[in-house]
Amino acid sequence: MSREWKADPTVVRLPGGVTVGGTEVVAIAGPCSVETERQIIEAARQVKEAGAVVLRGGAWKPRSSPYSFQGLGKPGLRLLAKAREETGLLICTEAMDETGLGWVAEMADIVQIGARNMQNFSLLKIADAAASLCCSSAGSARPCRSCCCRRSISWRKATTTSFSASAACAASTRRRAICSI
């Protein structure tokens, strides 16, 4: 995001004293999908041991084939919440539709919007209003208006700032934020 939109960097404060957009690097790590309790708890322990502060794992998985593993859904969210309880890590997972967004926003600390949904503006508007922090995946479907569009609809508010190519974070003037990973 160009500094012509917002001159000052945005700092988003998350639970546990974690700040995104400040001078510290915030590491987000974890498995592609939540598959079993043992798998996600062990992954969370390894993520914490490696120094990350956010556990990312997919409770829902977008797939090209309806026959592929689609994720555990709500049970996966409960497993992520258990991993948070055991490790103290913040949780990040993807919301794929409006129904799932409500569940994810209720259970996760950070809501991820995947590359396949970067043109789903109705979902992006709802995500902007529902989540305390929302991550959007960089991908071919992402609008070409730089980080400001990855920040969902709030690009109109001119409140976004890019921090790096791999982790561009942005925040709105309210308590909401969106982060591109």
Tens-place pLDDT, residues 78-96? 999 999 999 999 999 999 9
Residues 25 and 18: their CA atoms lie apart, in Å, by 10
pLDDT digits (tens, 9 = 90+) for 27-51: 999 999 999 999 999 999 999 999 9
Report pLDDT for 127: 85
User: Which domains, ranges and CATH numbers included, belong to the chain?
Assistant: 12-60+70-180 (3.20.20.70)
Task: Please determine, for residue 74, whether its predicted confidence score (pLDDT) is greater than 60.
Answer: yes
